[in-house]
């Protein structure tokens, strides 16, 4: 089913990889099943660890009344309904759900469904379809021919509007500018009377435009991350070359004194390797942080683009401000840039010694890793004594 397959990715929980059940959204815009995020939070609290999103590691705070107060993701809920509707309509050769089954003989021939009633959520054969249209109560129901593929636009029109978090039987109709939230009429009467409000359909266009601008900014941020990764990779390669050159020079020197200090060469190369590992760990750690930020940005863009293209006005109005705040958070690079600045250019040097004794450091010299604050071009200093200056003890 073409349309159903298109909806699969948005319908799966990242934790259990099954279809969402009661999807709840975190401030970072990642969505999880209520049962999955509850189990995850309980494990974190039992270990006294801070709460972070399982996907992007962004910190978050639980609402005052606990996990159950995490906001529902009505956009994902609508997609689940769209997927179920798509599967029901696009499936061919299904039995009629009005006249098949029941307490009758299992060997009884079942009529094949020809239409699907959106309101009743049932598949009907030709006979039941005629009866459906004959009854005054159901004659106005929307019937879709089974086996046909339904466009996303058609599905969006068939999905009911989003419902209020506080009043689950009331649909969202109003946007409160002062509280920055999408509410129902009952919420307006009880809590928002006197606030500056508007019909969600009237603010929809402005929010979609705002989301478009946020996506453009975050896309620029992704490109910035790519540039930082390239610079970091260049620094890594230059440092590796510096280490390789120093290792080579150490090898040449030790060959001159091979009979006396074979064991010293291994010791010095071990120190150099330790420096390299420490430096690589710093660089790799920062690279992983930048890559995580890129994943969050790309995930944000994908989600928001889907919301802009396929979300209802209620979806857009409900999510707009949270998504905008998330975009601003994603574009704060000062922590990464500060960390990147802290990964200063390092210069590996080797200061040789004029003495040959039973000490690698005093015989050949000592390794040094100096930080160059002005971030000059990478260079290695490897000072060796000439054989004429070598003093053998």
Are residues 229 and 292 in contact, defined by beta-carbon separation less than 8 angstroms? no
What six digits make up the tokens of 65?
Answer: 């009344």
Q: Residue 224: enclosing H or E segment and its boundaries? A: helix 200-256
Are residues 337 and 369 in contact, defined by beta-carbon separation less than 8 angstroms? no
State how far the Cα of 231 lies from the Cα of 296, in Å rounded to an integer.
21
Q: Residue 128: enclosing H or E segment and its boundaries? A: helix 126-134
Burial class for 183, CB neighbours closer than 10 Å (0-12, 13-18, 19+): buried
Distance of CA 276 to the CA centre of its chain: 32
- Does pTM surpass 0.95? no
**Architecture field, domain 1-81:** 2-Layer Sandwich (3.30)
Per-residue pLDDT of the chain (393 residues; tens, 9 = 90+): 434 454 556 678 888 888 888 888 898 888 898 899 999 888 888 777 788 898 888 888 888 778 888 888 877 777 776 666 666 666 677 788 887 554 444 445 568 888 888 777 788 888 888 888 888 888 888 887 777 766 666 666 666 666 777 787 788 889 999 988 888 888 888 888 889 999 988 998 898 899 899 999 999 999 999 999 999 999 999 999 999 998 888 888 777 767 666 667 777 788 888 888 888 888 888 888 888 889 999 999 998 998 888 888 888 888 899 889 889 888 888 777 777 777 666 778 887 766 656 666 666 677 777 766 544 433 333 343 444 333 333
Residue 364 has a pLDDT of 65
Question: In the CATH hierarchy, which top-level class contains the domain 162-195?
Answer: alpha beta
**Which residues, in sequence order, are bridge partners of residue 369?**
348
Q: Residue 116: enclosing H or E segment and its boundaries? A: strand 115-117
Largest CA distance in the chain: 113
Are residues 350 and 250 in contact, defined by beta-carbon separation less than 8 angstroms? yes
């Amino acid at each position: 089913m073409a349309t159903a397959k298109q909806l699969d990715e948005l319908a799966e929980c990242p934790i259990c990889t099954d279809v969402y059940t009661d999807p709840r959204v975190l401030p970072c815009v990642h969505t999880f099943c209520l049962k999955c995020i509850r189990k995850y939070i309980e494990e974190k609290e039992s270990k006294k660890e801070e709460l972070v999103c399982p996907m992007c590691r962004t910190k978050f705070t639980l609402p005052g009344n606990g996990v159950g107060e995490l906001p529902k993701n009505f956009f994902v809920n609508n997609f689940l309904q769209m997927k179920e509707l798509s599967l029901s309509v696009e499936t061919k050769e299904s039995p009629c759900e009005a006249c098949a089954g029941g307490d009758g003989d299992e060997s009884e021939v079942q009529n094949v469904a020809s239409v699907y009633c959106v309101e009743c959520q049932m598949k009907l054969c030709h006979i039941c379809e005629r009866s459906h249209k004959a009854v005054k109560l159901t004659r106005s129901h929307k019937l879709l021919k089974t086996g046909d593929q339904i466009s996303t636009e058609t599905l969006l029109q068939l999905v009911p509007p989003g419902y209020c978090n506080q009043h689950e039987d009331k649909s969202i109709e109003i946007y409160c500018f002062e509280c920055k939230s999408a509410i129902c009429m009952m919420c307006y009467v009880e809590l928002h009377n006197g606030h500056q409000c508007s019909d969600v359909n009237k603010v929809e266009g402005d929010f979609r435009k705002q989301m478009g601008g946020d996506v453009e900014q975050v896309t620029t941020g992704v490109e910035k991350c790519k540039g930082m990764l390239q610079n970091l990779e260049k620094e890594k390669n230059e440092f590796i070359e510096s280490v390789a050159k120093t290792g080579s020079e150490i090898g040449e020197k030790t060959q001159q004194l091979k009979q006396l200090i074979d064991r010293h060469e291994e010791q010095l190369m071990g120190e150099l390797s330790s420096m390299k590992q420490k430096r690589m760990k710093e660089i790799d750690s920062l690279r992983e942080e930048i890559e995580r930020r890129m994943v969050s940005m790309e995930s944000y863009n994908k989600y928001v683009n889907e919301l802009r293209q396929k979300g209802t006005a209620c979806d857009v109005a409900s999510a707009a401000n949270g998504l905008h705040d998330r975009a601003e958070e994603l574009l704060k690079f000062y922590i990464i840039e500060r960390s990147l600045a802290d990964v200063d250019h390092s210069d590996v040097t080797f200061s040789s010694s004029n003495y040959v004794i039973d000490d690698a450091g005093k015989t050949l010299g000592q390794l040094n890793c100096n930080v160059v604050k002005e971030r000059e071009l990478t260079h290695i200093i490897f000072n060796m004594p000439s054989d004429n200056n070598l003093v053998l003890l």
